[in-house]
Amino acid sequence: MPKHQKHTLEIHKVPDALPADEAARTAYAHDLNLSHHHFVEGEHPIVRIEHLNKTFDGETQVLRDVNLDVWPGEVVVVLGPSGSGKSTMLRCINLLETPTAGHILIEDKEITAHGTDVNKLRQNLGMVFQQFNLFPHLTAKENVMIGQTKVLKKPKAEAEKEALKQLEAVGLADRADFKPAQLSGGQQQRVAIARAVAMHPDVMLFDEPTSALDPELVRGVLDVMRDLAENSGMTMIVVTHEMGFAREVADRVVFMEGGVVVEQGKPEDVFDHPQNERTAAFIGNIK
Ligand SMILES: Nc1ncnc2c1ncn2[C@@H]1O[C@H](COP(=O)(O)OP(=O)(O)O)[C@@H](O)[C@H]1O
Ligand SMILES: [Mg+2]
């Protein structure tokens, strides 16, 4: 290997991933008082991040030893200033970025190990971006169908039924035949959520889903996300600046800065009694 890489690799040397049962016990002991999640005896985290490091171009270290466990059905909101590594962490979870070091396990299966089927992984992880990324030439319904038919190989009629069901769930039953350009940004984002949910992923990742929206359209998207959190039992990791949503919907809030998880806890604890002064400064809560 070239000499200049060696130094970086040594910095990033991390222990092996913990065995599943030990990881579950450790995560339980760590998270029990930090989350409203209803812990079930013997349950394992659905997402496990151990010693995650990400360096761009061999020098810019963007994530430093991030450790985070997410439980089945838990809603985790990630807060933090711009550039703190929130998107990079989410993108590592579905391997849109390749971690430099560390482990990510989904349902105890190490996705950072060699030979992971990335397409299969991404079927299981729904992602909603700030930019909705809908196909402009397809209708709302067709946008929600296409992953189901092309990736899951579902028959068209079945995919259509599911698409209509999911569009109805996001309040867009009457917009099924509209193209993205005929929809507001908020409606487009709700189509994007319907599209992700229609694949029935185990985990949904949201990266600032309302940041590109006009203020009056934010509410509708947050309502759809809240409904998903409260009524579907979906595991959700949500990067957002919507403090109201975090406070009301999150089981746990994670504050990141400088590529580090600075603090995490139940929303009322983090918002009303932040332990770290940087968290307090960020949420405007210095007493
Ligand atoms: N592909 C990339 N190449 C180089 N630097 C990057 C890349 N993607 C992100 N970064 C840098 O990583 C840091 C964290 O970015 P990001 O994860 O997008 O933060 P956040 O989502 O919290 O705003 C930023 O300094 C950003 O410039
Ligand atoms: Mg980001």
Tokens of 9: 């690799």
CA of 275 to the centre of ligand 1 (A): 26
- Residues lining ligand 1, Cβ inside 6 A: 56, 60, 62, 80, 82-88
CB atoms inside a 10 Å sphere around CB 217 = 18
Q: Whose CA is nearest to atom 20 of ligand 1?
A: 83
What residue type is assigned to position 210 of the chain?
A: T
CA of 95 to the centre of ligand 2 (A): 15
Distance CA 210, CA 193 (A): 12
- The residue behind tokens 């409203």 is 36
CA of 130 to the centre of ligand 2 (A): 9
75-89: burial string, b at 16+ Cβ within 10 Å, e else: bbbbbbeeebbbbbb
**pLDDT one digit per residue (tens) for the chain, 287 residues:** 444 444 555 556 899 999 999 999 999 999 999 999 999 989 999 999 999 999 998 889 999 999 999 999 999 999 999 999 999 999 999 999 999 999 999 999 999 988 899 999 999 999 999 999 999 999 999 999 999 999 999 999 999 999 999 999 999 999 999 999 999 999 999 999 999 999 999 999 999 999 999 999 999 999 999 999 999 999 999 999 999 999 999 999 999 999 999 999 999 999 999 999 999 999 986 54
Q: DSSP string spanning 204-262? A: EEEESTTTTS-HHHHHHHHHHHHHHHHHS--EEEEE---HHHHHHH-SEEEEEETTEEE
Distance CA 78, CA 40 (A): 23
Distance CA 94, CA 159 (A): 24
CA of 115 to the centre of ligand 2 (A): 28
Edge-to-edge strand ranges of the sheet holding 203-207: 125-128, 203-207, 235-239, 75-79, 252-257, 260-265
Note the pLDDT of residue 284: 87
What residue type is assigned to position 133 of the chain?
A: N
Tokens of 37: 């999640």
Note the pLDDT of residue 1: 40
Note the pLDDT of residue 59: 85
* Mutational pocket test of ligand 1: of 52, 55, 59, 60, the residue with most ligand atoms within 8 Å of the beta carbon: 60
Q: Which helix (H) or strand (E) holds 109?
A: strand 109-110
129 CB-near residues (< 8 Å, 6+ apart):
192, 207, 209
Which atom of ligand 1 is the closest one to the Cα of 256?
22
Distance CA 272, CA 255 (A): 14
- The residue behind tokens 């397809």 is 138
